[in-house]
Structure 1
Amino acid sequence: MTTDDAAPGAPRERAEEHPLDPGALRALAHPLRIEIYDILNQYGPQTASSLAAMTGESSGATSYHLRALAKHDLIREVSGRGTGRERWWERPRGGISFTNPEALKTPAGKAATQLVMSEFLTRRHQQLMRYVNETLTSPEGLDEATAMVATSTLRLTPAQTEALITEMHELVLRYGDLYRDQTGADLHPISIRTDVFPLPEEGLSS
């Protein structure tokens, strides 16, 4: 599982995707830290106070977890912004992978990986269901021009699957390069989910 930085204000050069080292993975493996990390990813730089308002936690708690994330370079302080009493934090540019082969060699690493992936996927599902429920009960309904919720099932070889994943990933990266730093009216954070995975073998017919 990977996640790419979509927050505004990042440098234009594309950073390479990298797996989290075991220490960073274990540091991230806390529900509130994952929520904080994802908010910085989706909505851009925040302070401990603004994160407290968004998560329902105290600013003391968010400040503590921000420092823990920063210790492992998962986030960083925004240079030249804020004061000593109100520090701004951001997620560095670039994609990361939660599946580090080295981390998966140990029980602690496996547990941390499972927790991080489970929390992220749960958060994504909650956001999707909130959107669906809110739009279904609104007078306007689902706007198919600005949202897509679809599932397709294909029968592909491993090589064809790899080609599909590569092309989809490149498309998302290209749009990120084009529009990541734009400013102006009528802009909204957009979540892009690209899930490609094999179905259980027992469901396949010859």
Structure 2
Amino acid sequence: MTNPYGDIELTPRGMRALAHPTRLAILSRLQRHGPSTATALSAEVGATPSVTSWHLRHLAEHGLVRDAEVGSDGRQRWWEASGPGFRFTPTDDAGGDAAMLLSRVLFDQARDLPDRWAREAEPLLEDEWRRSAGLSNTTVVVTADELAGIEAAIEEVLAPYVRGGAGSAHGPEAGARAVRLLRYVLPEAPKPTGEPA
């Protein structure tokens, strides 16, 4: 599958490194809000500055974060995400185990997002934004190759908006705002032999 977003491609070791709630929270904050310091991040992720700094160095070892080029007095180290996102594809048994571990942490961290949005953001939305917001739950019957094609087509549609970021033509002056698209792709397990389809 192609990588139209410019995401970081995780190795199995990288998947295991990121499958830690604090590291995932740190990376998510950097991706969504831009460069920060360990001290500023620590309050957001519920860890001490020294623990946050240790996790940042661990993420850097796997190419997920890097030093940020920001104007500072040099007394604090600034970090930024190395890419807009990350992706992982298991290629063997070790990669499959690492991918399942990371998937579980991702699901855990995303679990409360819809409830929080409905409680905090939805009541404040204007009608023009509310019309396109909410949950879509569609079941399709496809082969694995067809599903990969659907995912690739969705990514191609979204890629210009993901890559554009805050500096694109869709800036605040154009009335644009951040929109989180949660897309759960949940193939059903194979049916036991002899069970009707």
Deviations 1:112-137 (A, max 9, x none): 4333221112212222221123356x
Q: Which residue of 2 aligns with 1:47?
A: 37
Partner of 1:10: none
1:190 maps to what in 2? 179
Q: Give, in angstroms, the shift of residue 167 of structure 1.
A: 1.1
Cα offset, 1:152, TM superposition: 0.8
TM-superposed CA distance for 1:33, in Å, is 0.7
Change (3 A) 1:120 1:174: same
Q: 2:111 aligns with which of 125, 130, 136?
A: 125
Q: Secondary structure at the match of 1:82?
A: coil
Q: How does 1:42-81 map to 2 (within 5 A)?
A: 42-81=32-71
The letter of the residue matching 2:94 is K
After superposition, the Cα gap between the structure-2 partners of 1:121 and 1:58, relative to the gap in structure 1 and judged at 3 Å, is same
The answer on whether the counterparts of 1:48 and 1:62 sit within 8 Å (CA) in structure 2 is yes
Cα-Cα RMSD: 3.2
Unaligned segments of structure 1, at least 5 residues: 5-13
1:57, 1:81 → 2: CA distance? 25
| Larger displacement relative to structure 2 (158-167 or 32-41) | 158-167
Structure 2 counterparts to residues 16-35 of structure 1, below 5 A: 16-17=6-7, 19-35=9-25
Change (3 A) 1:202 1:128: same
Q: Check the 8 A contact 2:10/2:86 in 1, yes or no.
A: yes
Mapped partners of 2:125, 2:179: distance in 1:
19
Unmatched 5+ stretches in structure 2 = none
- Please say if 1:176 is aligned against 2:162: yes
Residue 150 of structure 2: aligned partner? 164
After superposition, give the CA deviation of every residue in 1:143-183 in whole Å (9 maximum; x if it has no partner): 52352321111223444333322211111112223455234
- Quickly say closer, same or farther: Cα 1:119–1:67, change in 2 above 3 A: same
TM-score (norm 1): 0.73
Q: Which string of whole-angstrom CA distances, capped at 9 and with x for unpartnered residues, describes residues 34-82 of structure 1?
A: 1111111222222112211212322122111111111221110112443
Residues 81 and 87 in structure 1, CA contact (< 8 A), matched pair in contact too? no
Q: Distance in 2 between matches of 1:160 and 1:29?
A: 29
Count of aligned pairs: 189
What letter corresponds to residue 161 of structure 2 in structure 1? Y
